[in-house]
Amino acid sequence: MNSQLSRLISRILPPLTLFEWGGLLTYFCLSHRISAFLHPVFRPLVLVAGVLLLLSAGCVAWFGGSAGAFDCTCSQARSISSPWRSLLVFAILTLPIAGAAALSPDTFSNAFIESRGLAFSPRGALPGPEASQKTAAAFVPIPASQQPRSVSMLDLMLAAQDDWCQKDFMDRPLEIIGRYYPDNPHYFGLISTLITCCAVDAQTLAIRVDTQSAPDLEKLAWVRVVGTVRFDQSDGSTVPILTAASVTPINSPADPYIYRPTGPTRQARPAHH
């Protein structure tokens, strides 16, 4: 009985495990759920690995029955690899990944985002009121004819490091999506989660948004801010500060993260300069 069970287990568990891993990797890629976990650069690799694992599962299932290098025939191995032990190894290899796939939402919780520490500036704190004294905050209404340019928080933070790039963003309406983080009656933090490789290395970026009155929104609600940007000195470094013309609550976007560019991160200087 034990021998029959062992034979059955040896035949089905390895390809079944490979099939589960390959199937999950392929499913996450094809369903686009992978975007909640990985930088776009790595996603094709996951798909390729998933497909290759499925093929390997087929190969092991097809050729696994023949006497070969991996048939466990030595006495030492036999004493260790009881059918129950094999089932335990199978459970460890398959259940956690299946459970995590079933449980995981498409983004981290609000508490996790806050626990990362908010990187408002290199100092790690929101630029205080003194920053706005250097350049007067101007709540200039944006003409309806002028379409705002959609930018990411990372665009503005990178532009802050280069005078030439700053000019490309100033004096024109910008639209930026992020999460609302209340801080002060006259300004709030706009938050984005930055991914370098995968969600584990997530960093919380934030920029200050000046407003005439604080919006009545829940903490970390998704918002679209339209306004203009200026670049001020705060604690020895240049930081972008938005002056909001409008703050509109929106549904959470399909892809909640912004991604660090894989090429040279310094923006190319605008052609007209």
Exactly one of 30, 265, 268, 270 binds other proteins (CB under 8 A); that residue is 265
- Cα separation, 137 vs 228, in Å, equals 10
> Which residues within the stretch 164-203 sit at the binding site for other proteins (CB under 8 A)?
196-201, 203
100 binds other proteins (CB under 8 A): yes
The residue range among 65-73, 177-185, 214-222, 243-251 that interacts with other proteins, by the rule CB under 8 A, is: 65-73
Exactly one of 30, 32, 70, 268 binds other proteins (CB under 8 A); that residue is 70
> What beta strand segments (E) does 83-221 contain?
118-119, 149-150, 174-184, 187-195, 203-210
Helices marked H in 142-186 = 153-159, 163-169
Sequence-distant (≥ 6) Cβ neighbours of residue 169 within 8 angstroms: 151, 155, 156, 159, 229, 240
The DSSP bridge partners found for residue 232 are 239
Closest distance between other proteins and the C-beta of residue 117, in Å?
5
Query: Both tokens of residue 216?
Result: 């009545």
219 binds other proteins (CB under 8 A): no
Q: Reduce the DSSP state of residue 40 to 3 states and report it.
A: helix
258 binds other proteins (CB under 8 A): no
> Which residues within the stretch 140-159 sit at the binding site for other proteins (CB under 8 A)?
none
The residue range among 62-70, 139-147, 177-185, 221-229 that interacts with other proteins, by the rule CB under 8 A, is: 62-70
254 binds other proteins (CB under 8 A): no
Counts of helices then strands in the chain (DSSP H, E): 8, 8
268 binds other proteins (CB under 8 A): no
